[in-house]
Amino acid sequence: MGATVVDLSGAFRLRDAALYPKFYGFEHARPDLLEKAVYGLTEFAREELRGAKLIANPGCYPTSILVPIIPLLNAGLIADNQPIICDSKSGVTGAGKTPTATTHFVEVSESFKTYTLFRHRHAPEIAQGLGLPNESRAVIFTPHLLPINRGILSTIYVKLKDGVMRGDILKVWQETFADAPFVRVFAESQMPEIKFAANTPFCDIGCAIDEATGQTIIVSAEDNLLKGAASQALQNANIALGFDEGAGIR
């Protein structure tokens, strides 16, 4: 009674109960709680998290995509005439701990593949986080399985509005995440890599832009078990309970 719950499953991430049978394989037993749950993408939910009793911890893929893209949408930098293409790669721990034929070492090692195209459970979560309809063609999400243990690298393709420069993106990110201890902005030529983020609580973001066309490639990296799960859950719990956001993480 009165407990604070940070739910790491997907059971409270989606607002629309009708999406659960298709993407999660079950009818939602408590749709009344979906609107009450705080979606805990920490950097964008601090006020909602204070004192929250039910927190839906975001999925690992959505975290890697929403962290860099939400600020750019909010700032009006992204053009409306092209989809946001999210090409994401995860280590095998992203599949969970239950053994399956597709995650055995001999199946994963020395290979690289896509999976659950157009039906991955994180697709509607990404669309929801970007404020877009689930069936919208404005977002295309393709997950891949990497032959490594942990880590996510997302390569995101967007078209910017006329006149937007790389410096504008970096300025928006730097202002948005000035007080975000676990987001690192790569402002130089070096792009994020899994090896920089693995075994850390950080989401690293960087970008490259063809200023003649406005085509932009955004790269983000994180540890799917930490910023994509456990350490973000701890961030959320800390804020909900009134502790320092980095307690037990730094």
Residue 124 · residue 105 · CB < 8 Å? no
Q: Tell me, what amino acid is at 78?
A: I
Please give the Cα distance from 2 to 250 (Å, whole number): 28
The answer to whether residues 164 and 214 touch, using CB atoms and an 8 Å cutoff, is: yes
* Residue 168, CA atoms < 13 Å, CB-side half-sphere: 17
The sign of the CA dihedral 204, 133, 28, 239 is positive
Q: Are 182 and 249 in contact (CB under 8 A)?
A: yes
Contacts 24+ apart (CB under 8 A), 203-206: 203/63, 203/64, 203/67, 203/227, 205/67, 205/68, 205/173
**Which residues form the catalytic set?**
60
